[in-house]
Amino acid sequence: MKTTHMMIDLETLGTVAGMKILSFAATPFFEGEGTRLEVGDPLYRRIDRDKYAKPVEDRENFVNEDWQEDSRTLAWWDQQSEEARREAFSGTEAPETALVELAAFIRRHKPKTVWSKGFMDLSMLEYAFYKFGIECPWHYQAPRCLRTKLRTTGELGIEPGHDVRWSEDFVAHDPVWDNKLQIAELEDLYRFSDMVLA
């Protein structure tokens, strides 16, 4: 049976726990033949930022005012492509509904490791799960940081994820595309080094 791993990417309105999550993608991937990685179908959800404002009744420890928007991040979004902004800010789903779906998706795949590019995404999700009363769907030893792994690329003399990054269709700051890039980066590290995924 193939070992499952998961790549997660968020688009948000800040960089610390308690900031609003606008969208996310979770993409399962598996160790294939040789040093290739096989990629499964992602779960992609876009959240309506205004639906964080609705109180959740009878939820212990829920503090509605915790969900914030950072002005510097909003200014940063103004500098991004129209396509990326449209994807990020056109969500319709309630945050709790999206997070319940995400937790169920991850539990169904039972990943051995959960990856993101830096630990910001996973720490923001862990906080959001906690605040909405959803059990975190991964083991505390599962998180892995792709950014840490990418620090070795200079020594390897490669540009990980080159083919995805320079694809005509690539959209930066779209979580589905970011996951494609990040898995491609990981695959190149896996191929050209002695890195292990576990």
- Rounded Cα distance between 32 and 43, Å, is 21
In this predicted model, which residue has the larger pLDDT, 93 or 60? 93
Q: What is the pLDDT of residue 31?
A: 86
Q: Are 157 and 189 in contact (CB under 8 A)?
A: no
Alpha helices by DSSP H, listed for 30-119, are 71-78, 82-89, 95-109
Q: Which of 60, 47, 38 is nearest to 11 (CA)?
A: 47
**The tokens of 104 are what?**
């169920």
Domains of the chain, earliest start first:
4-192 (3.30.420.10)
Cα 72 → chain centroid: 21
How confident is residue 63, by pLDDT bands cut at 50, 70 and 90? very low
pLDDT in tens, 93-128: 999 999 999 999 999 999 999 999 999 999 999 999
What value does the mean pLDDT of the chain take? 88
Q: What is the pLDDT of residue 84?
A: 94
How far is residue 5 from each of residues 15, 91, 93, 170, 186, measured CA to CA in Å?
24, 27, 26, 23, 11
Q: Are 22 and 13 in contact (CB under 8 A)?
A: yes
In this predicted model, which residue has the larger pLDDT, 64 or 163? 163
